[in-house]
Structure 1
Amino acid sequence: MATFVRLLVSQAERVVSRLFKAERGEGPGSFLEAPRTEKLLERGEGGGLRYGLGAMQGWRAHMEDAHTAQPQLPGALATWAFFAVYDGHAGSTVAQFCACHLLGEVVVGEAFTGEAESPEAVKEAVREGFLRIDSRMQALARAEGWEHAGSTAVAVLVSPGHLYFINLGDSRALLCRAGRLTFYTEDHKPSQPRERERIENAGGTVLLQRVNGSLAVSRALGDFDYKAVAWRGQTEQLVSPEPEVYELPRCPGEDEFLVLACDGVWDAFDTEGLCAFVRSRLLLGGDPQAVCEEGSRDNMTCMVVCFRGAPGTSQAALQKERELDAHLESRVAELYGELQEQGAASLVAIFQCLASEVNPSLPPGGGLASKRAVIMEAYERLRRSYEAQMSGPCESGAPC
């Protein structure tokens, strides 16, 4: 099937997925008649790390994502860093609360005060921090009436010697090391055997791959409607706030970058594809923020964190990109002329034609969709030129 058709199918699946994932009380009113296309862009650096972030509200009625980016923690933890993306649902309350307070609940206790770093102690401190903030929010939610709100969370805690990947829900983080995808977190879905077992033990069901036919993730912060059995422990409820924490030793010189993104990004990219796409953009001299700006979509957030070993600008890659852009512009002009003779010179028709052609020079992971700006700009120039010619005077001087 042509790449363009696959892109349309992917976009449709994303819309359907968003509709199914809507919480109780959400419906058509949760979506706008026209998308909000302004992008939130952010960049920063510290402690030998550079990060960039891109986010966009899109068709959703509210922006429900939030994030934390601290490339250098204060005080005694100045050699540590923390990055996180929170994908909220049924409102942004939980995501925003976590963005403000989760880090403070995590980096406490002996795990962060001793002289020698203990990975096991750090992982346990992270776990306890998540449980603590969820308990804290539950009391607030009951008092303030936001029991329905929830959020996934994906984070990376960077120490001088280790990378701690933290995941709760279906957002995802990856590590590119020495030019290859080395690690990525595992999504928490209700259909997974271990998740299904907990849900059923808690008296629930997995229907349409959702908790009780409604919630599409099996672990999340908030979502207190699913944590209402007082005699069950926090990790034994229908939805668990317990994160999975993975620890990897750092490899200076080989560690290149991290990507943290909410599930909508992973609906459009597979993990290896996004890793390859980000690396190809960095080789063009793009900073992390520019890379994220290319990738952000409807109510999605993507963060890229670069280590000192991240790839720098490649003249060969730049030349290849210039040649690709020139080729696409030339093909758009050729196709526009051919299709105009048939009265069918639409942007969609041109995309379909280009998608049917094999082009190994397209960015890895991004494909033709990642060059949409080049194609659209070339098309608009041709369209405006054609319309100007059609509305201009004839050779006799009279209007045509």
Structure 2
Amino acid sequence: MGAYLSRPKTEKETTSGANSWLSYGASSMQGWRRFQEDAHNCLLDFDPKRKAAYFAVYDGHGGAEVAKYCAAHLPDFLREQPAYTEEPVNPTAVLKNAFVDFDCTLVSPEVKSKLWSITNSEGEGAEPAEGAEAPEEDGDDDDDEVPEGLEEVAALHDEASKPIEYVLKQYGEVSNVSSFLKSLLSSFKSNGDKTKASESNNAEQSDGLSSSNADAETSKNEKASSEVGTTACVALLLPEVEDGERRRVCLYVANAGDSRAVLCRARAAVDLSTDHKPEDAEEKARIVAAGGTVTADGRVNDGLNLSRALGDHTYKCRKDLKMADQMISALPDVTKTELIPGNDDFLVIACDGIWNSMSSQEVVDFIYDRLHPEEAFVKQPERQDNDKKVEESTAVAVADGPAVDGEQQTSDKPKESDHSSPTFLSTICEALFDRCLAPNTMGDGTGCDNMTCIIVRFDDLDSLATCAVTRTTTKEVASVPVKSPNASILPSQRKRSESTGATEPAVASALNGDSAISAGADTGRNGPTVKLNGSGDEAPASAATAASCVMPPIQKKPRTEAEITTSPISRSPVAQPVNGSA
């Protein structure tokens, strides 16, 4: 992730919207991080025919490119799945297969090129937050960055425990890195052959890292998808028709990673997703079985500190394993919840920059008290002290910015006091960021991460239910083959191939044969948990692991594999949603 800024970027990128049934507010803030690596979707008209809405948060790591690519393409990819257009539809199976298949496309040459274009558009690594100016070498804005010299020391300290490939990716071509650091990195890049590296450096002293840079240029497309990844927490709101003709609105949440979706039901927080952490027993068992290790501080191969993600193909190189069984898996947990009109108030989706600072219930309380200030006083007056006078922060959700090292910042944003406006939801997101933001970077990293939050308010679930035209099923349907990391056929290419009668090239299977995620299958996790520990820093695996990803095409062989076992996610007794996982 790199070193922190000397002062946080507290500008917020905020959106809001509404239709006849739903309102949403969303915002993101770069914070103390040097780059903004989050992305999100808010699509009220995701499927106009079915009146389905789509909301998602993608928390990138190692760069912003995969998160941004997901935001740009995953909704369309899901909507264009043949299984999604069927009636009845199995949303649980569609979401699971879409995640895994979309992840496989990230290593195709076409997508690698697009990922590298995203990277190159803003320089090495991640994209800065939209609307934020790039740091200048001279001028009045220099105090937004760590001073020269100190930045190098901070970067060295931050990268000391990271794999050398990650360090090279971050600093291989940055002009203000010292020649000493460059030569040091070059010697490590030479696979430990110091004698050979020394002789080469003596002959090409003036060229610095010319040899390494040339090699890096030829492999940047590979690194774009292998060393960069993102969480994905997707919420699909879908009006449904039951067999008895009763109409309802169901909420499907598909999650891979440690972003989280939480439902406010009768003021209680109900986790609709599970934080996927390497130290969890079931996650650790899969990682170890795939040949990986989990460190004492919860990192896979001393790198990534989450166990499921899109991208990160450095960790998905075992050609004898299904994609769901790789060290880092793209297979999401999917939960189904029937929404209860008058009881379910709103949904919040956020990255771990929020959840590392506040629990699910604390976030629900924070939002609820601002949407219903009269109840905050009448029913629970003790909460006044917790949020510095709820009536003031409700009338003006972001009147003041966060305090940074004792200095209160004043926001010039217009003051929004109409609680029914979708804009008010986005101001609550902004106030939530200010609440979570750390005053400095001297702690354990809590409050120093990028922050993204979406609040979806259920304005009229009864009317939305009457619009239902879709019938759903939990029965198994034709499953989608799980392709290996070096699959190169995109769905669009597959369609063109079928329409022209052309023969498709052989696609390697993750099982040396045909493997699939069966409809409604689950991963056997026992239920959602709240994870508040961890700094949020992430890094790719070692160069040795990355090198093992270069694999020749695999010949398909018939082989029988057991389907993934199904285990529903348990809920809190306060709010027991309808469990639709098959």
Q: Same fold (TM over 0.5)?
A: yes
Q: Following the alignment from structure 1 to structure 2, what is the Cα–Cα distance between the partners of residues 226 and 114?
A: 34
| 2:231 aligned residue | 152
Structure 1 unaligned spans of 5+: 1-21, 311-400
Report the equivalent of 1:37: 10
- Does residue 67 (structure 1) correspond to residue 40 (structure 2)? The answer is yes
Partner residue, 1:175: 263
Provide the secondary structure at the position in 2 that maps to 1:240.
coil
Deviation at 1:96, TM superposition (A): 0.3
Q: Tell me whether 1:104 sits opposite 2:76 in the alignment.
A: yes
Aligned counterpart for 1:93 among listed residues 21, 43, 65: 65
Tell me the secondary structure at the aligned position of residue 134 of structure 1: helix
Correspondence list, 1:192-203, <5 A: 192-203=280-291
Match of 1:366 in 2: none
**Contact 1:255–1:309 (Cα < 8 Å) also in 2:** no
Which residue matches 2:254? 166
Corresponding position: 1:283 with 2:372: yes
Q: Distance in 2 between matches of 1:236 and 1:115?
A: 30
Q: Is 2:276 the counterpart of 1:188?
A: yes
Give the Å deviation of 1:130.
0.5
**Which of 455, 458, 466 is residue 304 of structure 1 equivalent to?**
455
Q: What amino acid is the match of 1:254?
A: N
Aligned counterparts of 2:260 and 2:355: Cα–Cα separation in 1: 8
The percent of aligned pairs where both chains have the same amino acid is 39
Which residue of 1 is the match for residue 104 of structure 2?
135
Using the alignment, how far apart are the partners of 1:183 and 1:144 within structure 2? 36
Q: Which amino acid aligns with 1:242?
A: L
Structure 1 residue 181 displacement after superposition: 2.0
Q: Post-superposition shift, 1:80?
A: 0.3
Q: How many Å apart are 1:238 and its aligned residue?
A: 0.9
SS in 2 for 1:112: coil
Gaps of at least 5 residues in structure 2 are 113-218, 240-248, 374-417, 438-448, 462-582
Residue 304 of structure 2 aligns with which residue? 215
Q: Which stretch has the larger CA shift, 137-146 or 56-65? A: 137-146
The letter for the 1-side match of 2:107 is Q
**Which structure: greater helix fraction?**
1
User: Hey, what's the Cα distance between the residues in 2 that align with 1:202 and 1:60?
Assistant: 32
Amino acid at match of 2:34: A
The separation in 1 between residues aligned to 2:316 and 2:85, in whole angstroms, is 33
Deviations 1:350-399 (A, max 9, x none): xxxxxxxxxxxxxxxxxxxxxxxxxxxxxxxxxxxxxxxxxxxxxxxxxx
1:50 pairs with 11, 23, 38, which one?
23
- What's the TM-score, normalizing by structure 1? 0.66
Q: How many residues align?
A: 279
Q: C-alpha distance in 2, partners of 1:166/1:281?
A: 28
Contact residue 46 and residue 72 of structure 1 kept, 8 A: no
Residues of 2 paired with 1:225 and 1:109: CA distance? 27
Which residue number in structure 2 is paired with residue 339 of structure 1?
Answer: none
Q: What corresponds to 1:19 in structure 2?
A: none
Residue of structure 1 equivalent to 2:55: 83
TM-score (norm 2): 0.46
The 1-side partners of 2:20 and 2:308 are apart by 32
Distance (whole Å) between structure 1 residues aligned to residue 44 and residue 341 of structure 2: 16
Report the 3-state secondary structure (helix = DSSP H, G, I; strand = E; otherwise coil) of the residue aligned with 1:33: coil
Structure with more relative contact order (C-alpha pairs < 8 Å, separation 6 or more):
2
1:126 matches 2:91: no
Query: Which AA in structure 2 matches 1:192?
Result: D
Asked if 2 retains the 8 angstrom alpha-carbon contact of 1:106 and 1:128, the reply is: no
**CA contact 1:56–1:299 (8 Å) conserved in 2:** yes
Superposition RMSD in Å: 1.9
Quick check: 1:256–1:309 contact (8 Å CA) kept in 2? Answer: no
- Alpha-carbon separation, structure 1, partners of 2:63 and 2:20: 34
2:170 aligned partner: none
Partner amino acid for 1:63? Q
